[in-house]
């Protein structure tokens, strides 16, 4: 076996190319990304280094990557989101936003964006945000005769805000793969996330002002009613202040900040159960939140294991360094190369989930981008923004499937179905896709939007 490995290893570069081709083939055939990456990585290591090295690396990666301290923040951030939902914080947040901004054109849609941003600040999962607000916002929006396409589009797009606004699971994964500071990346995502919120809100107001039938404003709320809704939104604000303040001040690591946030939301959850005297039901919901957290965490960890095995293979094949040298040697402006890379991500996102796409490409693309002189923190935010776009891009568009799936089971006050066909969901995200392209252009032209905040913490 070792003699065979030695003959194949005569040209590691082409073995690496063959491995990438095999990976693309397997994913195209419908094999799960983590399985395709692990199988390809193991076979590549077998060809390059022989059985002993391949088996040794495959046997140690699950443990060595699981016990990485920065990775421990993921289950905490995910748990915060599920507990916040079961504690009823999302509904109160949406009600507060509805009372304060419902009077503008498309007010309920704008309220959904603002509430989604607030929930994103306590949830690291985009699909979870989309699922939560499908239940919260669809009955209200369709009950007020909002267009189904706008309703579905704003919820699917609003869910993507969890990818940028800290805490963000995908930013943590990016940091681990490229070995950058988790804390700085989380801080860097805040302002671009708020920029996305403002662009979404401006888009909705413009569309509904031009065509009121899409979504009319709602009114009838007194100032007393508006201020009365604020206490319901304060718990979310408290979690945001604690988590973000701990990160910004350096008083806590991201994992410690996540633990503080989870403790606060858990306390609120228990307080609500005691107030409503529903401990048995609260216990069942807590178990459900823990199980959902465990399932999503295991899924992400498994993906990381498989991809890191593939990454080791690429490293031995020398593919990342070769690609970086080739990119640097191109006689074209670096900005044009970045744009081409982002366009490639847009195409990949049509066929792969966001996390899988990033973990498979970053080991090769990241060294090239750094070699061009670009800041890896800035590139991380831009790439994650592209991952947001992929969450609403057909034919995969995971958030779109989530919205359509949840809406299928919803009923209005009169018992009527609130189902939204998947094709309407995909049509509804069109304007928000354009808004995301504008946001990416802004981040390309004004990188300080990304870099200013993390630079203030040294």
**Averaged pLDDT for residues 172-194:** 88
Q: What is the pLDDT of residues 213-271, one digit of tens each?
A: 999 998 878 999 999 998 888 888 888 888 888 888 888 888 888 888 888 888 888 88
**Averaged pLDDT for residues 360-365:** 82
- Please compute, for residue 112, the number of CA atoms within 13 A of its CA located in the half-sphere on the CB side: 34
Which pLDDT value is given to residue 80?
83
- Please compute, for residue 248, the number of CA atoms within 13 A of its CA located in the half-sphere on the CB side: 14
Which pLDDT value is given to residue 378?
95
**Averaged pLDDT for residues 142-156:** 93
Q: What is the mean pLDDT of the chain?
A: 85
Which pLDDT value is given to residue 292?
82
- Place 458 in a pLDDT band, splitting at 50, 70 and 90: low
Which pLDDT value is given to residue 4?
45
Task: Give the list of residues 6+ apart from residue 168 with CB closer than 8 angstroms, or none.
Answer: 77, 124, 162, 186, 189, 384
**Averaged pLDDT for residues 167-172:** 83
Q: Which of 124-128, 145-149, 376-380 has the lowest mean pLDDT?
A: 124-128
Residue 8 has pLDDT above 60, yes or no: no
**Averaged pLDDT for residues 3-18:** 66
Which pLDDT value is given to residue 375?
94
**Averaged pLDDT for residues 332-357:** 83
The count of other CB atoms within 10 Å of the CB of residue 120 is: 28
Which pLDDT value is given to residue 278?
77
The count of other CB atoms within 10 Å of the CB of residue 31 is: 15
**Averaged pLDDT for residues 120-146:** 85
Q: What is the pLDDT of residues 19-40, one digit of tens each?
A: 888 887 887 787 877 788 889 9
- The DSSP element (H or E) to which 421 belongs, if any, is none
The count of other CB atoms within 10 Å of the CB of residue 125 is: 27
- Place 10 in a pLDDT band, splitting at 50, 70 and 90: low
Which pLDDT value is given to residue 5?
47
- Place 331 in a pLDDT band, splitting at 50, 70 and 90: confident
Which pLDDT value is given to residue 78?
81
Please tell me whether the peptide bond between 167 and the residue prior to it is cis, using omega within 30 degrees of 0.
yes
Residue 6 has pLDDT above 50, yes or no: no
Taking the CA atoms of residue 372, residue 322, residue 173 and residue 405 in that order, the dihedral angle to the nearest 10 degrees is 100
Which pLDDT value is given to residue 228?
92
- Place 110 in a pLDDT band, splitting at 50, 70 and 90: very high
């Amino acid at each position: 076996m070792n003699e065979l490995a030695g003959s194949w290893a005569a040209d590691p570069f082409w073995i690496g190319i063959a491995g990438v081709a095999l990976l693309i083939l397997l994913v195209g055939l419908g094999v799960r990304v983590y399985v395709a990456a692990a199988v390809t990585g193991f076979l590549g290591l077998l060809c390059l280094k022989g059985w002993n090295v391949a088996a040794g690396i495959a046997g140690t990666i699950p443990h060595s990557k699981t016990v990485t301290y920065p990775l421990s923040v993921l289950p905490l951030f995910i748990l915060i989101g599920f507990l916040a939902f079961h504690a009823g914080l999302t509904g109160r947040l949406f009600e507060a936003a509805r009372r304060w901004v419902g009077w503008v054109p498309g007010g309920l849609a704008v309220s959904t964006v603002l509430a989604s941003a607030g929930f994103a600040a306590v949830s690291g999962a985009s699909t979870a945000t989309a699922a939560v607000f499908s239940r919260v916002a669809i009955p209200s929006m369709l009950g007020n005769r909002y267009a189904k396409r706008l309703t579905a589009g704003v919820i699917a797009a609003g869910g993507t805000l969890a990818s940028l606004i800290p805490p963000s699971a995908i930013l943590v994964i990016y940091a681990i793969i490229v070995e950058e500071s988790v804390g700085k990346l989380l801080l860097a995502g805040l302002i671009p996330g708020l920029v996305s919120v403002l662009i979404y809100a401006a888009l909705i107001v413009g569309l509904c002002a031009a065509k009121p039938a899409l979504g009319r404003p709602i009114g009838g709320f007194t100032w007393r009613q508006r201020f009365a809704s604020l206490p319901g939104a304060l718990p979310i604000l408290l979690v945001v202040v604690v988590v973000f303040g701990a990160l910004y001040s350096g008083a806590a690591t991201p994992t410690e900040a996540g633990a503080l946030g989870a403790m606060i939301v858990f306390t609120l959850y228990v307080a609500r159960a005691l107030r409503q005297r529903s401990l048995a039901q609260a216990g069942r919901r807590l178990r459900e939140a823990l199980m959902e957290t465990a399932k999503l965490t295991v899924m992400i960890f498994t993906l990381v294991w498989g991809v890191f095995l593939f990454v080791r293979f690429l490293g031995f094949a020398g593919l990342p360094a070769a690609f970086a040298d080739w990119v640097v040697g191109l006689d074209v402006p670096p900005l044009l190369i970045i744009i081409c890379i982002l366009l490639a991500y847009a195409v990949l996102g049509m066929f792969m989930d966001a996390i899988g796409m990033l973990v498979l490409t970053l080991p090769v693309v990241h060294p090239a981008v750094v070699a061009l002189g670009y800041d890896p923190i800035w590139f991380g935010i831009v790439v994650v923004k592209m991952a947001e776009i992929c969450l609403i891009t057909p034919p995969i568009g995971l958030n779109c499937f989530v919205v359509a799936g949840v809406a299928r089971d919803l009923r209005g006050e009169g018992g009527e179905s609130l189902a939204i066909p998947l094709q309407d969901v995909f049509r509804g995200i069109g304007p928000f896709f354009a808004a995301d392209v504008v946001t990416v252009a802004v981040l390309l032209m004004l990188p300080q939007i990304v870099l200013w905040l993390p630079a203030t913490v040294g």
